[in-house]
Amino acid sequence: MTLDPGGMETRKRRHIDVCLSEAVDYQTVTTGLERYRLPYNALTQTNLGSVDLANDFLGARLRAPVLIGSMTGGAELSGTINRNLAAAAQQLGIGMMLGSQRIMLDNGSASTSFNVRDVAPDVLLIGNIGLAQLDEFMVPDLVKALDHVGANALAVHTNPLQEAMQHEGDTDFSGSVSRLRDIAGSIGYPVMLKEVGHGIGAAAAAELVDCPIAAVDVAGAGGTSWARVEQYVRYGEIRYPALAEWGIPTAEALQEVRHTLPDVSIVASGGIRTGMDAAKVLAMGADAVAVARPLLAPAIESPAAVVDWLQRFIDELLVCLHGCGAANLAALRRRGVTEL
Ligand SMILES: Cc1cc2nc3c(=O)[nH]c(=O)nc-3n(C[C@H](O)[C@H](O)[C@H](O)COP(=O)(O)O)c2cc1C
């Protein structure tokens, strides 16, 4: 047994360091949400104190339609990060996606950094694995890893651009849609397909028609660019700026996936930074939102720091519903958004 297979633990640690110290957000591409306005209603008939953000997602009741985005796991610091995120999710009644559990499959001792159920007994907990690594032979070990952490569902991340930027990344995606289809239909956990910040759009959504997945997290462009992160990790600089800026903006990705897959649950993420961003994507048809990198620094600090960031975000979302006359999320979706 290798203690750090393929240097994965070291790479995870580099990801964290680069995400904390370099400019890893898209520099020119935005989420596109600035092109939409939430219609303000000066004669709202709502009471802010009674606005209800509760929502059902992947079979769980969330107090607010917010998920902590997949971040990390495996390295020692990841254990702290995961537990602080999970404790905050428990306090707020929201969901949490774990980072890639691939390291658990190669190195059993890495699994402790994913153990969060003792601090988050009631949280909707979503496990994680890469599509590039997913094959039928790993399914038994993957199921064990999901059972071990007490996951409710599995997120499969598809990241061809990130892998292409990564030193010795997995660059063969041939056959991955059919493997996803087989595994989603048989693994016994609801499966959500996600990107990592370059966006699931119309072409990818078309591949998912008739695929037995429960949800899509569009993880669009406009927030963290993983093609930037990987270039900093590999070269210490951006050598391919056009690739670092490549992706489908979150607002577009959401609309394209909603159009092609009208009945699939959708998470909007990628550059969701404010309660207003969240209100807009929920009004546009998302079932929940996810936030990743802004929670990394608070997660290294304490559960309270994570709660502080997210409570402010949720408070802003509440005011957005109130100000557009929506007492709950169904009413918000009926309001929709105005294109500028
Ligand atoms: C430190 C860090 C580690 C991440 N690790 C994973 C991962 O293991 N699996 C995954 O699916 N996404 C991973 N992501 C991607 C996020 O889940 C998310 O899709 C992306 O960062 C865009 O969201 P953001 O703009 O809110 O950061 C990671 C993000 C960060 C910041």
Residues 52-78, mean pLDDT to the nearest whole number = 93
**Residues 35-50 pLDDT 10s:** 999 999 999 999 999 9
Structural domains of the chain, with CATH: 8-339 (3.20.20.70)
* 49 CB burial (10 A radius; 0-12, 13-18, 19+): exposed
Phi then psi for residue 249, to 5 deg, are -55, 145
- The answer, yes or no, to whether any atom of ligand 1 lies below 6 A from the CB of 15, is yes
At residue 1, the pLDDT reads: 37
Nearest CA to ligand 1 atom 6: 71
User: Strand 265-269 and strand 215-217: pairing?
Assistant: parallel
Average model confidence (pLDDT) for the chain?
A: 95
73 pLDDT more than 80 = no
Number of neighbours of residue 80 by Cβ within 10 angstroms? 15
Å from CA of 98 to ligand 1 middle: 10
Task: Judge whether 186 and 213 are in contact, CB under 8 Å.
Answer: no
Q: Which residue has the tokens 């048989």?
A: 186
Q: Find out whether 72 is annotated in a ligand binding site.
A: yes
Å from CA of 327 to ligand 1 middle: 31
- The answer, yes or no, to whether any atom of ligand 1 lies below 6 A from the CB of 19, is yes
178 pLDDT more than 80 = yes
Question: What H or E segment, with its residue span, contains residue 125?
Answer: strand 125-130
**Residues 131-163 pLDDT 10s:** 999 999 999 999 999 999 999 999 999 999 999
- The answer, yes or no, to whether any atom of ligand 1 lies below 6 A from the CB of 314, is no
171 alpha-carbon distance from chain centroid:
22
Length of the chain: 340
Please give the Cα distance from 321 to 283 (Å, whole number). Answer: 10
Q: Find out whether 80 is annotated in a ligand binding site.
A: no
User: Strand 125-130 and strand 338-339: pairing?
Assistant: unpaired
At residue 6, the pLDDT reads: 56
3 pLDDT more than 60 = no
- The answer, yes or no, to whether any atom of ligand 1 lies below 6 A from the CB of 323, is no
Task: Judge whether 151 and 120 are in contact, CB under 8 Å.
Answer: no
Please give the Cα distance from 120 to 123 (Å, whole number). Answer: 6
